[in-house]
Amino acid sequence: MNTTISFLSHRRRALVVAGALALLGGLVAVHGAQSSHTPPALALQRDDHPVTRGQLERASFSDVVKRVSPSVVKITTQTKAKRVAADGSPFPGLNDPMLRQFFGGRMPEMRQEPMSGLGSGVIISADGYIVTNNHVVDGADTLTVALSDGREFTAKVVGRDPLTDIAVVKVDAKNLPAITFANSSKAEVGDRVLAIGNPFGIGETVTSGIVSALGRQVGILADVKGFENFIQTDAAINPGNSGGALVDVDGRLIGINSAILSRNGGFQGVGLAVPADMVSDVVTNLVAHGKVVRGYLGVNIQNITPALADSFGLKNREGALVGEVLPDGPADKAGLKEGDVITSVNGQPVTNASKVQMTVTSLAPGAKIDLDVLRDGKVAHVVATAGERPGAHKVDAPANDDEGVLNGVAVADLDRNARQQADVPARIKGAVITNVDADSAAARAGLNPGDVILEINKQPVHNAQEAVELSTKAEGKKTLLKLWSRGSTIFVVVDETGGDKASD
């Protein structure tokens, strides 16, 4: 029987990803749409003290649960029907170039039926900021947050970070019970923990267990080259627990529940949570900037096996072996070489490749990176300057953004893969449309997935972020678009009033 990794949001259509052990190589960087304004800095409640060991001897944690439960919410999502390209469907073979030629290089469209979903979230500030998993809110058109006291609010996505599977949403409310963050780096295997969430939508549920392992990497985020440093727990968590809280016996957040390792999609005692320290860094960036900026070294690195240690004449397996130095990257400019073994970063010993990755990505671009390396059996010192990974992760415009004139349209950066799939020439610059709400004005105007937005109201569009910003800033109910569609450039008017559908 195959082992699978299952995301924990509960949807009508299961979100299950095949588990595979994967080493994450090059160090990653930027994602997300820049906010049009910068909100006040997010002040999280923190408590860095070690867990109170005396609590472990108590027969009940009811007082902890009563204090923490109001900070955990239920998140319900709704996704409207969309028109999507058939080559984006799960059916194999539809992206075959031999098949595409019969459709003029463009695959026919399919209708994606409406979907509903369920997950959990944790209140992190009294003024309405809530952390959850990216896979809970990804693609949702509407979000409803239900508090433990019965109140319900419509929420908006503040920012998403697929590289850690973390997202922040916001509700219009005050004086909410914000959770306190623990220092998750002080968690130890064997510590007692409580998991709080909404499994299967049956209502808020509390389960207990221990920290089973730290620093787990299981490959669940390999498709986006994400960062895995999971806390593993045997506390019972199931679909619907996504985004819920993993707390210590003092009621402090040590992780956000994200996935389970299972043979049947249900609880089998192996749950995975994003550590609170990583969550804190991500949510602070998302609230302040709408995106997360990470340091970048420009290397592919790997753990050292006994065979590699013997081949390179190493005394032990401590460190990270440099398999590739990317041309013109920070490491290349600093003189790092293939075959070097990184033994410390900024004075911190390196035990494995993950340690290098986590340390470098926590730095801001421009920060100094001091590296101690072993090269041909000799100790060397390399000083690099952290860069920012060229090219951002795909940015989707929120299809439920009622402040923009292109409601129901999702866009992404026009990267190499998007160009190939939509057969877009290299000279074309813009933002590619990935989804169009079947009931939207944009759909009535004739916009389709695969079209490229070149201009919005005569303002040039270079990427998805600009398309979102120009859409939000546009005034009036009619929007003039310049598109590259089906091999030619056309003008289209999107009329939110329901008048004329299009003009060219």
Query: For 244, which DSSP code?
Result: -
Q: Which residues pair with 16 in a beta bridge?
A: 6
Instruction: Name the helix (H) or strand (E) containing 311.
Output: helix 306-311
Nearest one of 246, 252, 249 to 271, comparing CA atoms: 246
Within 10 angstroms of residue 368's Cβ, the number of other Cβ atoms is: 10
Residue 155's contacts (CB-CB under 8 Å, 6 or more residues apart) are 75, 130, 143, 144, 145, 169, 170, 171
Whether the CB-CB separation of 196 and 205 falls below 8 Å is answered with: yes
Q: Output the six-digit token pair for 197.
A: 């969430």
Could you list the active site residues? 135, 165, 242
First to last CA, the chain: 57
- Cα separation, 302 vs 294, in Å, equals 20
Query: For 278, which DSSP code?
Result: H
Q: Output the six-digit token pair for 51.
A: 């867990």
Whether the CB-CB separation of 109 and 448 falls below 8 Å is answered with: yes
Helix (H, G, I), strand (E, B) or coil at 378: strand
Give the phi and the psi of residue 163 in degrees, each rounded to 5: -70, -20
R_g of the chain computed on alpha carbons = 24
Helix (H, G, I), strand (E, B) or coil at 450: coil
User: Virtual CA dihedral for 100, 105, 108, 112, nearest 10 degrees?
Assistant: 90
